[in-house]
Chains A and B, each alone.
Chain A
Amino acid sequence: MLSKRIVVCLDVRGGRTTKGIKFRENVDVGDPVQMARLYYEEGADEMVFYDITASAEYRDIMIDVVEGVAQQIFIPFSVGGGVRTLDDMRKVLLAGAEKVSVNTAAVLNPKIIEKGAKAFGSQCIVLGMDVKKVEVSEKIPSGYEIVIHGGRTYTGIDALWWAKEAVSLGAGEICLNSIDADGTQAGYELTLTKLIAENVSIPVIASGGAGVPSHLYDVLMKANADAALIASIVHYGTYSIREIKEYLHSHGVKVRMVW
């Protein structure tokens, strides 16, 4: 039986980790490689690095970060943000990442999923989906709409349709982020997660809303997510990964307990 995965997400801007990562002794909290190392040692099952750099001039710095991470941490990790072309994918994978994640780029150009899957294998291609709850309509029958540009632009695309479409194009995994839940620390969007997780044949990582360990229990057990993504809950030092895992383990969730 597979364990449910706890995925830690780090935002990187210009080669430095950003937003509210609390001071930790002996660790340069701005250095993504050191932060990755810390979470690896604390028991993260997987990591995601989002390059939130707006301009292309920092791309090479991101590749350096990926290489640095690959030399230090020995668990799978993916890279998202700014991956638009096959060449971007190749660079990230060759630098040592297991997977690349495409979000806005895939909405604007769905063929990138297909091309990526053919070139590197489906297991390498993660579809990142940013989703907002909307009125049920003919166009959006699931009541969940895909948004892009960090949630600012509505696309008119139904989230469930897009998830299935991405699977048929060759995506190997979905990272499902609820814009409504993101940053609230009030729990994951369970209805959305369950809807997507039970209707696609590939693993779903739930993202957005984790505030306490029971939120992870809910999304993994009640909404059937294969993995739960966390950020602030560990960055602020509210809980350690071990505390979260011990909570899940004691409540009957199969998680990796030695590392």
Chain B
Amino acid sequence: MVAIVDYRAGNLSSVLYALTYLGYKAIITSKLKEIMAAERIIFPGVGAAGKAMVDIKKLGLDKAIKEVFNAGKPILGICLGIQIIFERSEENNTHCLGIISGEAKAFPHPLYGQRDELLKIPHMGWNKVKFIKLHPVFNGLDPRAEFYFLHSYYPVPKDALMAFGLTEYGIEFTSALAYKNLIAIQFHPEKSGRPGLKILENFCNWSP
């Protein structure tokens, strides 16, 4: 069973539909008991870091996620889920979960592309991820594959060794990271067609 953690951050049904489509059992839940009992957890979310952390604390999920992490269960953070695992986010200057060292930073403004064109923020649409190291969860992907992004802040892990995937949008940033039993990605695998489904499938089969 996969628990999709519900911390009131946007619509989570797409993640559930993708897992169901792949044939995995999953539930959307904010109940600590169900999260602790799950085999693996997905920590998705769209929205603002400030409000997300308030809700996470209110629901007691901050401790639960740390506990699950310490227990060695596979965790996948998606989008806002990659940002609030850090110590802090520049968005609303928020203190975050602090599972790993680093922060979420705002894209520089103005932001220019390779041909000096002004880039729009949020970074929204299909972009490539350059996977720089092997990992079972990022296995079997076509190097030309693209993924769906939607964000205005980007992840900056303190330890560069955690970076497994890099994406370029005006700057180059870490779009996929892995550390022990934790995987975190900035893009939406549930909205990235077959390559995205492949990552979800790999995650569901992964034993760290």
- B168 contacts partner chain A, Cβ-Cβ < 8 Å: yes
B142 cross-chain contacts in A, Cβ below 8 A: 258
**Cβ-neighbour of B191 out of A98, A201, A203 (below 8 A):** A98
Question: A31-82: which have CB < 8 Å to B?
Answer: 40, 45, 70-72, 74-76
B121 cross-chain contacts in A, Cβ below 8 A: 201
Q: How many residues of A contact B (CB 8 A)?
A: 30
Contact present for A94 and B17 (CB under 8 Å): no
B190 cross-chain contacts in A, Cβ below 8 A: 74
- B72 contacts partner chain A, Cβ-Cβ < 8 Å: no
Q: A40-B193, A75-B193 are in contact. Are A3 and B125 (CB under 8 A)?
A: yes
From A2, A40, A202, name the one whose CB has the most chain B CB atoms within 10 angstroms.
A2
- B197 contacts partner chain A, Cβ-Cβ < 8 Å: yes
When C-beta atoms are compared, the residue in chain A nearest to B118 turns out to be: A201
Contact present for B127 and A70 (CB under 8 Å): no
The answer for the CA separation of A40 and B144 in the assembled complex, in Å, is 18
Contact present for B148 and A76 (CB under 8 Å): yes
Grouping DSSP codes into helix (H, G, I), strand (E, B) and loop, the B interface class, with mixed when no group exceeds half, is mixed
Question: B173-208: which have CB < 8 Å to A?
Answer: 190-197
From A1, A70, A96, A121, name the one whose CB has the most chain B CB atoms within 10 angstroms.
A1
The answer for the CA separation of A93 and B124 in the assembled complex, in Å, is 18
Contact present for A3 and B126 (CB under 8 Å): yes
The answer for the CA separation of A257 and B128 in the assembled complex, in Å, is 11
Contact pattern, A 120-137, Cβ under 8 Å of B = 1, otherwise 0: 010100000000000000
Contact pattern, B 74-112, Cβ under 8 Å of A = 1, otherwise 0: 000000000000000000000000000000000000000
Contact present for A96 and B17 (CB under 8 Å): yes
Q: A1-B168, A3-B125, A71-B21 are in contact. Are A96 and B13 (CB under 8 A)?
A: yes
Contact pattern, A 1-23, Cβ under 8 Å of B = 1, otherwise 0: 11101000000000000000000
A74 cross-chain contacts in B, Cβ below 8 A: 14, 17-18, 21, 190-194, 196-197
Contact present for A75 and B148 (CB under 8 Å): yes
- A226 contacts partner chain B, Cβ-Cβ < 8 Å: yes
- A84 contacts partner chain B, Cβ-Cβ < 8 Å: no
**Cβ-neighbour of B169 out of A2, A72, A94, A227 (below 8 A):** A2
The answer for the CA separation of A149 and B208 in the assembled complex, in Å, is 57
A94 cross-chain contacts in B, Cβ below 8 A: 11, 13
- A164 contacts partner chain B, Cβ-Cβ < 8 Å: no
- A256 contacts partner chain B, Cβ-Cβ < 8 Å: yes
Contact present for B127 and A3 (CB under 8 Å): yes
B125 cross-chain contacts in A, Cβ below 8 A: 2-3, 5, 45, 203, 226-227
- B162 contacts partner chain A, Cβ-Cβ < 8 Å: no
Contact present for B191 and A75 (CB under 8 Å): yes
- B6 contacts partner chain A, Cβ-Cβ < 8 Å: no
- B113 contacts partner chain A, Cβ-Cβ < 8 Å: yes
Question: B120-173: which have CB < 8 Å to A?
Answer: 120-127, 142, 144-146, 148, 150, 168-169
Contact present for B150 and A2 (CB under 8 Å): no
Q: A2-B123, A74-B197 are in contact. Are A257 and B17 (CB under 8 A)?
A: no
B126 cross-chain contacts in A, Cβ below 8 A: 2-3, 5, 45, 256
When C-beta atoms are compared, the residue in chain A nearest to B151 turns out to be: A123
The answer for the CA separation of A45 and B125 in the assembled complex, in Å, is 9
B64 cross-chain contacts in A, Cβ below 8 A: none
CB distance from A49 to the nearest CB of B (A): 15
CB distance from B154 to the nearest CB of A (A): 14
**Cβ-neighbour of A96 out of B11, B114, B127 (below 8 A):** B11
The answer for the CA separation of A74 and B194 in the assembled complex, in Å, is 8
From A5, A96, A98, A256, name the one whose CB has the most chain B CB atoms within 10 angstroms.
A256
When C-beta atoms are compared, the residue in chain B nearest to A259 turns out to be: B193
What is A's interface to B at a CB cutoff of 8 Å?
A: 1-3, 5, 40, 45, 70-72, 74-76, 93-96, 98, 121, 123, 172-173, 201-203, 226-227, 256-259
**6 examples of A-B residue contacts, CB within 8 angstroms:** A45-B126, A74-B18, A74-B196, A76-B148, A121-B46, A226-B120
What is B's interface to A at a CB cutoff of 8 Å?
A: 10-11, 13-14, 17-18, 20-21, 46-47, 113-114, 120-127, 142, 144-146, 148, 150, 168-169, 190-197
Q: Give 7 new A-B contacts, CB below 8 A, not counting A2-B126, A3-B126, A201-B120.
A: A5-B126, A71-B17, A74-B14, A74-B191, A74-B197, A203-B125, A259-B193
